[in-house]
Structure 1
């Protein structure tokens, strides 16, 4: 049977749910692989004209909810700036190649292809193997904004709960909700849209609480497929009105006490790095990163990129 052509919408910003599975048996993506996948996703998202709405990296597949930004929302200067990000600030992009990169960096297929290819190379090198890593071509579904989008995002973030890996969605750090709560250094990688921005003129914090309410209430429903959020856990969240408390943020920051390389005040981290900088392969200076939720504390590594 012939393949059905992939549905791609041009001329307007469109959200897609992308799913791709490995070709290997078992759960072959461990912590290191999942960390690298997220790092790679962040790198490519800076180049391509995308808005990352959600993701989840599991042991044998990944989900991605991404909005491809319409053609009219970026200029020739945007193209050149991204080109220099890849090839260096002195790189010159010929004018007759601008349209090529404009099309490429607004392509869902090219975006996913680069992520999958980059990850395959990493995995094969790390495990001393050759050949295909991913199975059939990725699946993609066009997702309407609003109620449909938030339902799709919840479906993605609930994957680790349904699989019985965690009891709370945000306990899984290789997902969008886990990233929102466990990433101590705020950045612009992951959207705080939740499909609610056009309908809720509230702060990011309130939208996050609203999304967590939807996520927990949805996750507590017994679908007959996999596990669900425990009723006791749901009730505790209801009492807190699904707000992210300081105690919760501290809980997810504790990784910094074991994995951050150096932790302390900004001056201490900077000075200690200078003493041992020859041990780090990166040529550029490492700038201490503030650890959100731990007042006055900085770390050498941003753990989401470690």
Structure 2
């Protein structure tokens, strides 16, 4: 029986999650259907625009993403602190970018003198919306449903476009996070869609490379802020240069089909995270196949299982040792 989503997402364990959603009925999200010859490549931009728009509305950051031919990968960060500081007005304005809200929330935003009961109902609705704006299930719903309706309209059909449930994995520590991000960013290269990570259209890695060329980081993605430290700003706990070098070297090996390893002495980031160079390629190319609902190093998995009174699944942590 599938585990309820409420039990899979726990901010006490981690704010980082890897989500995968796949199409049904041999539907194509984008790319070219080899059976009919029809091209759906234009749908990539639908997904990317919607994904990054939602990141500007929700208190959820996009760390990595890759739009594939019949599925989508995205690594998300739930920012539970920022949402607490949003005023009622800001919460309602953000939610109204997605839905009309209620007559009471609309009246509240218009301002002026309002009856006490209208204020109370609007503020109660705002607290409901506040919770939804940090909910991965709501985020994925707001991403999937508009794309499905638009694709069904274009395909002149009805019914499901996506599988009923998206897959989610909790990334318990830095090693799991960087392994998953690399797996997502290298998906197009590993699948033969792109020759290099930086040429992979509609991916987070290309957006980051383009921004680096302009000496910046993309505002629509969760930024790299360097190694963990006191008074650390909100962002990914790695150096951007280290990550890009890691992706570049891994991508070269994956593309050329080599079984070789990466010299860890050249990549301090792997040493800092205690990931063996021999295991790195396996992580970066087989992350989904080799991991379960929660991913992390042995100590992180043990702590998770102890706090949730569960047995340890050997599959969850093996590759990160």
Query: 2:223 matched to 1:192?
Result: yes
Query: 2:69 matched to 1:41?
Result: no
Does the 8 Å contact 1:173/1:182 carry over to 2? no
Q: Which moved more, 1:4-13 or 1:156-165?
A: 4-13
Q: 1:217 deviation in Å?
A: 2.5
What residue number does 2:275 align with? none
How many residues are treated as equivalent by the alignment? 227
TM-score (norm 2): 0.61
Does the 8 Å contact 1:52/1:66 carry over to 2? yes
Q: Deviations over 1:104-140 (max 9, x none)?
A: 1111111101111111011112222211101241000
What residue number does 1:172 align with? 200
Assess, with a 3 A threshold, how the Cα gap between structure 1 residues 102 and 50 changes in structure 2: closer, same or farther. Answer: same
Query: 2:33 matched to 1:19?
Result: no
Q: 1:8 deviation in Å?
A: 1.1
Query: 2:56 matched to 1:56?
Result: no
Assess, with a 3 A threshold, how the Cα gap between structure 1 residues 16 and 27 changes in structure 2: closer, same or farther. Answer: same
Assess, with a 3 A threshold, how the Cα gap between structure 1 residues 228 and 91 changes in structure 2: closer, same or farther. Answer: farther
What residue number does 1:80 align with? 92
TM-score (norm 1): 0.64
Does the 8 Å contact 1:44/1:111 carry over to 2? yes
What residue number does 2:243 align with? 211
Assess, with a 3 A threshold, how the Cα gap between structure 1 residues 35 and 142 changes in structure 2: closer, same or farther. Answer: same
Distance in 2 between residues matched to 1:197 and 1:31, nearest whole Å: 38
Distance in 2 between residues matched to 1:28 and 1:150, nearest whole Å: 26
Assess, with a 3 A threshold, how the Cα gap between structure 1 residues 31 and 208 changes in structure 2: closer, same or farther. Answer: farther
Unaligned runs of 5+ in 1: 239-306
Does the 8 Å contact 1:13/1:69 carry over to 2? no
Q: 1:100 deviation in Å?
A: 0.5
Q: 1:47 deviation in Å?
A: 1.4
Q: Which moved more, 1:150-159 or 1:73-82?
A: 73-82
Distance in 2 between residues matched to 1:116 and 1:26, nearest whole Å: 14
Query: 2:108 matched to 1:92?
Result: yes
Unaligned runs of 5+ in 2: 31-39, 110-121, 267-321
Q: Which moved more, 1:138-147 or 1:114-123?
A: 138-147
Distance in 2 between residues matched to 1:133 and 1:60, nearest whole Å: 10
Q: 1:214 deviation in Å?
A: 0.9
Query: 2:154 matched to 1:142?
Result: no
Q: 1:59 deviation in Å?
A: 0.3
Distance in 1 between residues matched to 2:245 and 2:257, nearest whole Å: 12
Alignment of 1:289-300 (within 5 A): none
Distance in 2 between residues matched to 1:92 and 1:13, nearest whole Å: 35
Q: Which moved more, 1:73-82 or 1:208-217?
A: 73-82
Q: CA RMSD in A?
A: 3.5
What residue number does 2:9 align with? 8
Q: Which has the higher helix share?
A: 2
Give the secondary structure class of the aligned counterpart of 1:150.
Answer: helix
What residue number does 1:70 align with? 80
